[in-house]
Amino acid sequence: MKRTTARQKSEFFWGWIFILPTMLGLIVLNIYPMIDTIKQSFCKIGDFGKGSQFVGLDNYKKVLGDSEVWQALWNTIKYAIIEVPFSVVIALLLAVLLNKKIKGRSVFRTIFFLPMVVAPAAIAMVWKWLYNSNFGLINNIFHVNVNWISNPKLAIFSLAIIGIWSVIGYNMVLFLAGLQEVPKDYYEAAALDGANGFNQLIHITVPLISPTIFFVLVTRIIGAMQVFDLIYMMIDLNNPAWKKTESLVYLFYKYSFEQNKKGYGATVVVVLLVVIMILTVIQLIGQKKWVHYE
């Protein structure tokens, strides 16, 4: 009896010692800042940047009455609506192709994954150049004259294309991991029943890796809702498409760090948090209809 208590005591002692650095760090760097951001969203920085005064729901009233915020929310959602489904479907198809024993499998995988190890700042610069309406590669190779990133109607789609291009390799790797779990005899049985490749994909692959698809969807939507780097790098303030591409995180950056309206910036980021939480909860509820766990 006495030995177990000694062991328990020592586990308690060392357990807390071991987690102490991480927990202290999380409390100082994340938990406190989160509470502080929420607090600031109810405050206004006083005159001359000194002190902050409580203004109740004023920031929220202003944010929800601000057409720029609504436009940014809509831009962000539009970006996500294009980026997520396309990147998921393309990645899934590529994963199915690469799941076969084919020559050059790992070479293709390495190439598709490449954009994941490059700074988005560099990616945005090269795409800005590719999209250049006068001297860009795309317009000159295909002999078209499209204002990819300065046409307000088109710009958000052009940005989403870069998003898709950047992330398909990543999604594909996750799908490949999911496909490893699917037993091969399912496909043999289906082939005997005369199911073609497309039918196999819809009726066998998709249901069997639905937990992976669900995971990718949830994390990709969260990621897409936080889009910032691409837009910050590609859209100058004198770009006519600027208002139609500004995302919520961009707006947060602009208010908090360019215009030093931290209370307003904090409010925008709390709104973003709420939107992401709502989207995630909807997916968690919706998953019961289509995600099959073993």
> Which of 73, 92, 149, 269: binder of another protein (CB under 8 A)?
269
Residue 221: name the closest of 74, 71, 81 by CA: 81
Regarding 254 and contact with another protein (CB under 8 A), the answer is: no
* 211 is a contact residue toward another protein (CB under 8 A): no
Of 4 and 153, nearer to another protein (C-beta) is 4
Q: Is 115 in the site for another protein (CB under 8 A)?
A: yes
Site for another protein in 156-195 (CB under 8 A): 165, 168-170, 173-174, 177
* Contact status: 259 vs another protein (CB under 8 A): no
Task: Extract the tokens encoding 60.
Answer: 């929220």
Q: What residues have CB less than 8 Å from 121, skipping those under 6 apart? A: 229, 233
Query: Residue 186 Cβ, how far from another protein at the closest point, in Å?
Result: 19
Smallest distance from another protein to CB 283, Å: 13
Q: Which of 81, 130, 179, 279 binds another protein (CB under 8 A)?
A: 130
| CA distances, 246 to each of 41, 154, 236, 237 (Å) | 21, 13, 10, 10
Amino acid at 131: Y
State the alpha helices, DSSP H only, in 27-153. Answer: 32-40, 58-64, 67-98, 105-113, 120-131, 137-141
Q: Residue 56 and residue 95: Cα distance in Å, rounded?
A: 51
Give me the least distance between CB of 197 and another protein, in Å please. 7
Site string for another protein, 218-247 (x = CB under 8 A): xxx-xx-xx-xx--xx--x-----------
Based on the shown chain and the rule CB under 8 A, indicate whether residue 282 belongs to the binding site for another protein.
Answer: no
Q: CA 35, CA 18: separation in Å to the nearest integer?
A: 25
Binding segment for another protein (CB under 8 A), chosen from 152-160, 185-193, 251-259, 286-294, is 251-259
Minimum Å gap between C-beta 64 and another protein is: 18
Per CB under 8 A, the segment of 116-124, 146-154, 179-187, 284-292 that binds another protein is 116-124
Q: Judged by CB under 8 A, which of 53, 257, 282, 284 binds another protein?
A: 257
CA-closest candidate to residue 234, choices 106, 292, 148, 153: 148
Of 114, 202, 281, 282, the one binding another protein (CB under 8 A) is 114
Taking CB under 8 A as the criterion, which residues in 28-57 touch another protein?
Answer: 28-34, 36-37, 40
By CB under 8 A, what part of segment 70-99 binds another protein? 90, 93-94, 97-98
Examine residue 284 and tell whether it contacts another protein (CB under 8 A): no
The pair phi, psi for residue 44, each rounded to 5°, is -130, 135
Non-local (6+) Cβ contacts of 146 within 8 A are 133, 138, 139, 154
Number of residues interacting with another protein: please give it, by CB under 8 A.
99
> Which of residues 64, 89, 116, 281 is near another protein by CB under 8 A?
116
Contact status, residue 171 vs residue 88, Cβ threshold 8 Å: yes
Distances (CA, A) of 270 to 52, 104, 158, 219, 274: 18, 46, 28, 19, 6
Q: How far is the CB of 78 from another protein (least distance, A)?
A: 19
Question: Is residue 163 within 8 Å of residue 117, measured between CB atoms?
Answer: no
